[in-house]
Structure 1
Amino acid sequence: MVGQEKAKQACFKGFGNKFFNSDRSSCIHKLKLTITEEIDIDASYVSFLIDAAIKRKVQHLDLHWCGVSKFFTKPLKVYNSETLVDLKLSEVLLDDAQIVYLPCLKTMHLEDNWYPNEATFEKLVSSCPVLEELNLIIHEEDIKAFRVHSRSLKKLNLVRSYIHFISSVLAVVIDAPLLCCLSIYDYASESYIVNNLESISKLDISLVFEMKLIRYFIENSAILKRLTLRLVGNSARDNYTLKELLRIPRGSTNCEVVIL
């Protein structure tokens, strides 16, 4: 088994060294790396591959560290790319890079990653000046409060499932003036705050979470145009939920509530 693992590592590195040879000058349009336990490549070598792709002006980068116990322990140069437009990171330990700037990034997908502190996530998002879409799937061991600050963000998809920190206050703060599409699947967070929505925004919200958070959006969204709710449960519970929704005073007289 040990011999087979070493052979796989050698094969992977041989291909990587040849394909990412520094003598090559051609650009890389898209790179997808899925690191599994079968390969078990150390983080430093993966960093080498990403650095090489950044130098060759990669535009789409997808990195998935699948079920491997070794994670990145230092900032990646992917945090400073002038060509990336689409970035996907899954199951990666993200360090707190001192300088973060992704001037062309428009779409970012972050799934089950680990963040050393709240500032790391906030810095990564706010340092993408043209970011339009953020897909965020939060791991149960992630930090308790997430703050999404972006002057350009238009679409936010957030998934946060049940976690073990049941006694802790789990908060999400959204500060995105141009936001027009918000989708939330959340049974864990206890507090949502949405700030600084511009009056010209047309906000379409889809929610799957507790009634008190639905009440928050209905009562406090003065410019809300459409609210989509997906009911899960038996018919008696659905009828009760519908009655509760009808009793909630709406902050927006033009709000359309759609029940799925």
Structure 2
Amino acid sequence: MDLDCHSFSSFDAFVSCTNMFFDKHKASWIRKLRLSIRTPVGVDDTTYLTPWIDSAITHNIQHLDVHFSCLYKGNDPEVVSLPCLKIMQLEYVKYPNEASFVKLISGSPVLEDLTVIRAPTNNSNVLIVCSQTLKRIYINQFIRFDEQNGVVIDAPLLEILMIKCYLTNNLKIINLGLTPKIDIDIPFITIDVLDTNDSSKRSVVHNFFASISRARCLAISHSTVTVIEKLEPQLQFSYLSQLSASFSMFDLKMLPRILRSYPKLKSLILELVDDRHRKNGEPTVMFSSVPPCLISSLKFVELKSPILGYEGEIELVRYFLKNSRVLEKLSLRFKNHNRKKSKHVILQELLAIPRCSSTCEVVF
């Protein structure tokens, strides 16, 4: 069931119609409920939510999606019970305090999929997710940076984690699944932390990445790549088989050091960020070492961003072809326009590069 307040002539009409629907269908099961509510300015009464929530529980709801709303503003309940709820999506939803969110999660004993996009004006500080059943978590915490904000996750069965947030003292992964898929995006403010002499902050950053070191698949943003490169001592992601990463053209020199953290890497997907407009000229790309994964495990490399013909791109392709001993497939893309060189010239350069692996196929 999908109920959107914007589809009604007035907010009162929305509330009235929704009340009638729940009353009429009390005997039936509602398995999926999506509420899109924006309370009008000056309206603080949210008591209309109480019978809706009660009815949803009665109908054994399994999928709850609340968008642009506020959770019930009445007395903070001692017990929240959503016994059949498997999927919960909370987008720009305010909750009164940390305890209320903890009760919401603990009152969902079969919850498997959780999405939380925090409202910029959310007054609560730390988002605590503690669940013995969660398999997928997506958290977008890009709100105003504050050392008091944070995320704490304890989910031993977790298979997929996607998190976008500032790295603060309260960002902690207590427990994850054995080999989860992880997608993280951390902004540049964390790099400033690593450039300071504050050992406690550097320890927080190191401990966070250590807590996800058992990941099987990892996707990292350009900013996160820079953070990992600065970690000392360098971490080892010994279980990682697939890496998807975004690199600035000017940061490609970091690549061998980054890849040293993934000794058993089998598949690498790279996206190059063309930020030459922010810096002077074209970067000179030189690779000084060959990490273990290129020698023993890396079989698939894909460049997601189109090849334009810059020397850094050609040098990157040359690096993989000349040094990857077990490489089976290198996938490249081209744009039909805005290239520095013609496609024919670029192909000639690439095909002339010697290959370390006799089984390597270059796919355009």
Report the TM-score, using the length of structure 1 for normalisation: 0.71
- Tell me the CA shift for residue 124 of structure 1: 1.0
Cα distance change on mapping 1:241 and 1:171 into 2, 3 Å? closer
SS of the residue 1:151 aligns to: coil
1:259 paired residue number: 245
Gaps of 5+ in 1: 1-30
**3-state SS of paired residue (1:258):** strand
Change (3 A) 1:49 1:189: farther
Corresponding residue of 1:56: 28
- C-alpha displacement at 1:125, in angstroms? 1.3
Kindly report which structure 2 residues correspond to 1:129-140, keeping only aligned pairs within 5 A, or say none. 129-140=109-120
Q: 1:223 to 1:169 in 2, by over 3 A?
A: same
Match of 2:4 among 34, 40, 58: 34
Which amino acid in structure 2 is aligned with residue 205 of structure 1? Answer: I
Contact conserved, 1:81 with 1:103, CA < 8 A, in 2?
no
Structure 1 equivalent of residue 181 of structure 2? 204
Q: Is residue 158 of structure 2 the alignment partner of residue 179 of structure 1?
A: yes
Once the 2 structures are TM-superposed, how far is the Cα of residue 150 of structure 1 from its aligned partner?
A: 1.0
Asked if 1 retains the 8 angstrom alpha-carbon contact of 2:119 and 2:143, the reply is no
Q: Where do 5+ consecutive residues of structure 2 fail to align?
A: 195-203, 247-364
Summarize the Cα distance change of 1:197–1:66 in structure 2 as closer, same or farther, 3 Å threshold.
same
Aligned length: 220
- State the identity %: 24
| Distance (whole Å) between structure 1 residues aligned to residue 98 and residue 117 of structure 2 | 15
Contact 2:182 2:217 in 1 (8 A): yes
* 1:93-108 superposed matches below 5 A: 93-95=70-72, 96-108=76-88
1:71/1:93 contact within 8 Å kept:
no
Superposed CA deviations along residues 136-190 of structure 1, whole A, max 9, x for unmatched, are 1000121111111111000000112232xx4551121111110111001113755
Q: 1:214 to 1:228 in 2, by over 3 A?
A: farther
Task: Give the greater-gyration-radius structure (CA).
Answer: 2
TM-score, normalised by the number of residues in structure 2:
0.53
1:92 shift after superposition: 2.1
Does the CA contact (< 8 Å) of 2:130 and 2:155 recur in 1? yes
Greater displacement, 213-222 / 113-122: 213-222
Q: Matched residue of 1:119: which SS?
A: helix
State the secondary structure of the residue aligned to 1:157: strand
- CA deviations 1:19-52 (Å, max 9, x no partner) are xxxxxxxxxxxx1111138412278646624743
Matching residue within 227, 250, 254 for 2:235: 250
